[in-house]
Structure formats: structure tokens, C-alpha cells
Amino acid sequence: MKAENGNKKETRILRVSEVNFDVIIDEAAEIIRKGGTVAFPTETVYGLGADGLNPDTVLKIFEAKERPPGNPLSLLVHSREDIKKVAKNIPEKALLLMDTFWPGPLTIVLEKKDTVPEITSGNLPTIGLRMPDHRIPLELVKRACTPLAAPSANLSGKPSPSLAIHVLADLAGRIDAVIDGGGTAIGLESTVVDMTVEPPVVLRIGAVGIGELEKVIGKIRPTYAGAESGSGMLMPEKQAGQKYSHYTPNTQVVLVEGKSEEKVSEQIGILLEEHVSKGQKVGLLLSDETAGFFTAEELNVHDCFLLGSRKEPEGAAKRLFEGLRTLDAAGLDVILADGSFSHSGLGAALINRLREAASVRHLV
Ligand code: TXA
Ligand code: MG
């Protein structure tokens, strides 16, 4: 794949195993120290890493991803020492979050120090930090001796990668290397919480839920689109860092949600008939239970991607981006998506990503 800016380079694929772990991480750390870009798995999604304190290397991330300038990058850190290098005036509550959720899928936005270049923070006075719960990025940060700027390793506007092949589909020829460490455990991006305001604000929901955060630091304000609030769904003004469009597939996604699982299945059936009668090609993104509502023949005729049981949002979250990528590449007119998954645990983040991907939403 040729990079539009003409910087076609060979992207090395570094397959990591127990046996070669040290050699591979040393190799990747050297690429980073020399100012290169390396993609790698984390427990959430694959990230694209470069020295986060060097504006020239950070620019390479923006170019490779075609990321709009001004959209802030977060930094992956390995230790409390790393944090002191880049953040100041750290509130007590932020330290509590670090103690509770790090290493893990929580990005904490703090006041930044001048060591962090403007390009990294998107000209904001703040910086998002995360200590990932994954051996590869932790060792890489340690051995590269610098916090890594590491956004998700996809082209801007595409879904985050949960497999190395997704990274290559988007960024081959644009980055120096990808470490193939298999599928990511969670499959959705981290929760982002801004600790520079009071009450703290959740900018993006991930595997760490609102309730879990509130147990540790008290009241917080969710501001991501589609958050459930007392009066229904929240569609607030976008905050800094939320201005840029999230992933929406090229193919129209129609999401069906409702309290009754039976009604959701029925409605997907009705919509399927409607679209088919117009001669359209339809894709189905379904829970196993909703798939059970259709005959094997119906499922065979249409492109169908199963996300697993609606009672297990963890499994569905892991497969969601793969499902959206697969169906979006199938040349369809519409994707009918099942919103009947449990909202507990990772379900809140799963439903949030489905709502963001969808341009039409049916509530039954
Ligand atoms: O799980 C993750 O967070 C993954 C892995 C690779 O670590 N990374 C990731 O990065 O999803 P990215 O850049 O694709 O998403 C980070 C989100 C963006 O929506 C960005 O706008 C927001 O966090 N963000 C970063 N720094 C911010 C800041 N200082 N203030 C507000 N929002 C910020
Ligand atoms: Mg991203």
C-alpha cells in the first residue's frame, strides 16, 4: 500500500513469542529510539507508538494515520517516574485512580509539563496518560527510555485494530514495524477521564465503567455521546479531544435497540425484508440469540457476522471492530446491527461504539 505522502517504506512484521520476546522488544525499542514508528498490541487495541517527547517523531504518527492536527495523543507510561516527567499538579483523586486501575484500560488526563511538545497534546495544556496492562508496551516504553505517544494504530476514520492484520491493512508502507502479538484481550479503547476539572469528566467509555470510577473518587460527569443519563441518552456539546469524528463505517449501519430481546430480533427481521425487497445487499451483525431467530438459509444468503451471546458483552466487544471491518469491506448497502447486548460490564462501551457507528437507530 502506497502512502499518500509518498513516504512508502517497508513495514517489518515482528512476530513475538516467548522464545524471542527480548530480541524483538530490543529491536522495536531501537527503532523508536532512532525516531521511528512501531505498532504493537496493548490489552485494549493495537497502538502506534513513537517517542512522545520528540515533535519530529510525533509528526510521523499524524502523517501515517492521516490524523487531523490538533487531535491530542495520549502517552503510554511505564512507571511513576515517567509520570513526573510529563505531568504536574496531579490531584489526589488521580493518584487514587492510578493505584486502583493501573496498569489497565484507563487514560487519565492531567496538566502537562513543558517537556510534552505541543504537537503531542494537540496544543492543549493537558496530556492523557495510561499505563497499559500488557507486557509488550510496558517493556517497550522501558527500553525506549521515553513515554510513547500511542494512538490506536488505524487510519483516522477506521475502526481501532484488534489484530495485527488490521494494522497492516491500514498502515503497511507507512510505519516502520508492527509487533504481531495476537488478538487484543479487550478489543475496545480505554476509558478516558479528565482529572483537570471538578467533577472529573469521562470523555470516552471503555472497560472501566462509570460506577467503578465513582466508587473510588465520587461523583463524575459522563460526557460521551450516547451515555445513559437519568432522562435518557446524552448528546452533549463536544469537549476538547472529542471534536474529531469517531469511526463510522462507509456502509450505513442501522442499530436496533430495545428492552425486549424478542422485539429487537423481530425488528431486525422486518428491516431485513424491507431492504431485501428494495434489491439491497444486507449485512447482519448479530448476537447468537438474535441469529437463532433466523433460519440457517437466511443467514447463509446474507453476510452475517456473529458477535457471540448477548449475555457476554466481553466476547462481543473483542469481536466488534473485526465484525465492522469485515462487513464494511463486503460491498453492502446496509448493515443491520443488533443492540440487544447486556449493558453490564463492557456492555456500556460496546453499546457506545455501536451507537457511534450507526447513522440510524431504532428503539423498539
Ligand atoms: O486504549 C487506548 O486508549 C488506545 C491504546 C493504543 O492505548 N489508544 C487510543 O488512542 O485509543 P487514541 O488517540 O486513538 O484515542 C485517545 C482519545 C482520543 O479521543 C483523544 O482525543 C483523547 O483520547 N485525548 C487524548 N488526550 C487528551 C487530552 N489531553 N484531553 C482530552 N482528550 C484527550
Ligand atoms: Mg483512535
pLDDT at 159 over 50: yes
SS3 for 8?
Answer: coil
Burial 23-54 (b: 16+ CB within 10 A, else e): ebbeebbebbeeebbbbbbbbbbbbbbbbbbb
What pLDDT is recorded for position 164? 98
Q: Is 130 annotated as a binding residue?
A: yes
What spacing in Å lies between the alpha carbon of 229 and ligand 2's midpoint?
25
Q: What is the pLDDT of residues 263-295, one digit of tens each?
A: 999 999 999 999 999 999 999 999 999 999 999
**Atom of ligand 1 minimally distant from the CA of 127:** 29
Cell for 224?
Answer: 460521551
Which residue among 67, 107, 155 has the greatest number of ligand 1 atoms within 8 angstroms of its CB, and so is best to mutate?
A: 107
Q: Which ligand is nearest to the CA of 206?
A: 1
Q: Which ligand is nearest to the CA of 188?
A: 1
Looking at residues 349-358, what average pLDDT do you find? 93
Pocket of ligand 1 contains residue 107 by CB under 6 Å: yes
pLDDT at 2 over 50: no
What pLDDT is recorded for position 259? 82
Distance of alpha carbon 266 from alpha carbon 332, whole angstroms: 21
Task: Determine contact, residues 226/353, Cβ cutoff 8 Å.
Answer: no
Which residue among 58, 113, 116, 189 has the greatest number of ligand 1 atoms within 8 angstroms of its CB, and so is best to mutate?
A: 189
SS3 for 264?
Answer: helix
Task: Determine contact, residues 156/48, Cβ cutoff 8 Å.
Answer: no
For helices 313-328 and 164-171, the axis angle rounded to 10 degrees is 30
Size of the chain, expressed as the number of residues it contains? 364
Type of residue numbered 108: I
pLDDT at 243 over 80: no
pLDDT at 224 over 90: no
Q: Which helix (H) or strand (E) element contains residue 282? A: strand 282-286
Q: Which domains does the chain have, with CATH numbers?
A: 12-224+236-240 (3.90.870.10), 252-363 (3.40.50.11030)
Pocket of ligand 1 contains residue 47 by CB under 6 Å: yes
What spacing in Å lies between the alpha carbon of 160 and ligand 2's midpoint?
6
Burial 317-336 (b: 16+ CB within 10 A, else e): bbbbbbbbbebbeeebebbb
Confidence of residue 227 (pLDDT cuts 50, 70, 90): confident
Type of residue numbered 279: G
**Atom of ligand 1 minimally distant from the CA of 154:** 14
Looking at residues 32-60, what average pLDDT do you find? 98
Q: Which one has a higher pLDDT value, 248 or 240?
A: 248
Looking at residues 146-175, what average pLDDT do you find? 96
**Atom of ligand 1 minimally distant from the CA of 189:** 1
Residue closest by Cα to atom 3 of ligand 1? 190
Q: Is 359 annotated as a binding residue?
A: no
Residue closest by Cα to atom 15 of ligand 1? 151
pLDDT at 231 over 60: no
Instruction: Look at strands 87-88 and 177-180 and give their pairing.
Output: unpaired
Q: Which ligand is nearest to the CA of 58?
A: 1
Confidence of residue 238 (pLDDT cuts 50, 70, 90): low
Distance of alpha carbon 164 from alpha carbon 178, whole angstroms: 7
Q: Is 160 annotated as a binding residue?
A: yes
Pocket of ligand 1 contains residue 184 by CB under 6 Å: no
Q: Report the percentage of the chain scoring pLDDT > 70.
A: 93
Distance of alpha carbon 346 from alpha carbon 152, whole angstroms: 19
Looking at residues 70-77, what average pLDDT do you find? 96
Q: What is the pLDDT of residues 105-152, one digit of tens each?
A: 999 999 999 999 999 999 999 999 999 999 999 999 999 999 999 999
Question: What mean pLDDT value characterizes the chain?
Answer: 93
Q: Which residues contact 259 (CB under 8 A, 6 or more apart)?
A: none
Q: Is 54 annotated as a binding residue?
A: no
For 221-226, the CB contacts below 8 A with 24+ separation are 224/352, 225/352, 225/355, 225/356, 226/351, 226/352, 226/355, 226/356
What pLDDT is recorded for position 239? 66
What pLDDT is recorded for position 3? 45
Q: What is the pTM assigned to this prediction?
A: 0.94
Pocket of ligand 1 contains residue 128 by CB under 6 Å: yes
pLDDT at 357 over 50: yes
